[in-house]
Amino acid sequence: MTSNVRQAMFGEQPVKVTCAQCGDVTTRAQPVPGLLSYLLGGLLCAFGCICGCCLIPCMCCQSVQDVDHNCPKCMALLGRYKRI
């Protein structure tokens, strides 16, 4: 992560940042399972949804997943938006 990229600016949508290798780019935002996804899956499992339903937050619900921001050219991880 470059020193001129601040964590607070990352969100759910792609943002314009400066990659150390490629210069000015618009990030590629990709949802990835994070702590909130795992907690919700654990809660579903605890309430009896054990037939694969507990995987829904990690696989299907992008609104509860963290978001990785990568450089579209060199694929370097520039930042991460964490829900929790």
3-state secondary structure 46-63: HCCCCCCHHHHHHHCCHH
Determine the pLDDT at residue 8. Answer: 46
pLDDT digits (tens, 9 = 90+) for 10-30: 999 999 999 999 999 999 999
What are the b/e assignments for 47-58, b being 16+ CB within 10 Å?
Answer: eeeeeeebeebb
Separation between Cα atoms, residue 46 and residue 55, nearest integer Å: 13
For the chain, give every domain's residue range. Answer: 14-79
Per residue in 41-83, pLDDT (tens digit) is 999 999 887 788 888 999 999 999 999 999 999 999 999 999 9
CA neighbours within 13 Å on the CB side: how many for 38?
7
Pure H helices in the chain: 35-46, 56-59
Instruction: State residue 3's pLDDT score.
Output: 46
Q: Is the pTM of this model over 0.85?
A: no
Q: Note the pLDDT of residue 54.
A: 85
